Amino acid sequence: MSAHSTTAQAHPNIALLKYWGKQDRPGNLPATPSLSITLDTLTTTTTVRHARTDSISLNGEAVEDPGIRVALADWRRDHEIPPLAIETRNNFPTAAGLASSASGFAALATAIDGHCRLGLSAGGRSALARRGSASAARSIHGGFATLCGPDWQASQLMSADSWPLKVVVAITSSAPKAVSSRDGMAISRRSSPYFDAWVSATAGAFGSMRDAVLRRDFARLAELSEASCLRMHGLMMSGDPALLYWNAGTLSCIEALRGLRQAGRNVFFTVDAGPQVKAVCTTPDARAVEELLRAQPGVQDILTVGLGGGAVVVDG
């Protein structure tokens, strides 16, 4: 057993064009392309060291994490990865719709690549992270990232500095979500009459959203992002069982943000598989967005974050 350890850090990302649903073949391959922004400040820090058997601790407590165990078994089919003690910490609530699995698998893939000297490129780490959780593929990169075929490795579209947007997160519940993204996606694919339409509409919107980002066209990005979010939630609601991730606070925030945009502010909303609302805005509008969201019924807390960098080894 070696005392030597490697520590990596990664941040969650928020999809503006959403991934929801998988292809019917191995590798955890999304059925849709996606485009995201990686956040700063919210951080997962993961340390790995050689051990006699695998163990996982989350925020200082030993846990059984079937997702990590399955990913490790999968990664070991292609790479020399010895038994590892894995310690991971999030400085934000886990499993509350803030994409802790994205930062978690991006940090883990980066720490293991460094520790076990796998010598992977950023694309290789992204593919490894994707096999753990597809949104994690995008957290390998900072700023604006895309994940699309044919290779399904994420790439950076634009750096965080190129368009320093802000994200104001309205927390409307800190309870873990009732149905995981993975189970929810399987329900939508199996039972929603809209699934095929969702896949083709998302593929169709991908190029337009990429162009809107490259042109820094906020109004167009707002339109495309809200459409992707609402279509995804429409899909979720149309399955059997129907999935409704929102609560009353979610809807209050959405209505308030639509009003603020009509009043001329640069802001739009997005919501993932949980009840939190993420308001994406330009820096001069962030204060007004925070004040508005704080005043909404059901909002428990507000977090304002900027766009951040990709996953990196910080020690080891």
CB 290, min distance to ligand DP6, A: 23
Binds ligand DP6 by CB under 6 A, chosen from 8, 10, 15, 280: 15
Residue 47, interface with ligand DP6 (CB under 6 A)? no
CB 28, min distance to ligand DP6, A: 5
Binding mask 87-106 for ligand DP6 (x = CB under 6 A): ------------x-x-----
- Tokens in use for 20? 């929801």
Binds ligand DP6 by CB under 6 A, chosen from 182, 208, 247, 282: 182
Binds ligand DP6 by CB under 6 A, chosen from 134, 157, 205, 286: 134
Residue type, 259: G
- Residues touching ligand DP6: how many (CB under 6 A)? 15
C-beta separation of 84 from 118 below 8 A:
no
DSSP state of 311: -
Part in contact with ligand DP6 (CB under 6 A); list of ranges 132-140, 249-257, 259-267, 281-289: 132-140
Part in contact with ligand DP6 (CB under 6 A); list of ranges 18-26, 49-57, 164-172, 248-256: 18-26
Residue 146, interface with ligand DP6 (CB under 6 A)? no
Which is it for the CA torsion 139, 167, 213, 23, positive or negative? positive
Strand, coil or helix: what is 16?
strand
User: Quick one: which H or E segment has residue 147?
Assistant: strand 144-147
Residue for token pair 């149309």:
238
Residue 273, interface with ligand DP6 (CB under 6 A)? yes
Binds ligand DP6 by CB under 6 A, chosen from 7, 9, 11, 18: 18
d(Cα 70, Cα 254) in Å, to the nearest integer?
A: 37
Strand, coil or helix: what is 128?
helix
d(Cα 108, Cα 161) in Å, to the nearest integer?
A: 25
Residue for token pair 């990686």:
38
Interface with ligand DP6 (CB under 6 A): 15, 18-20, 28, 34, 99, 101, 133-135, 181-182, 272-273
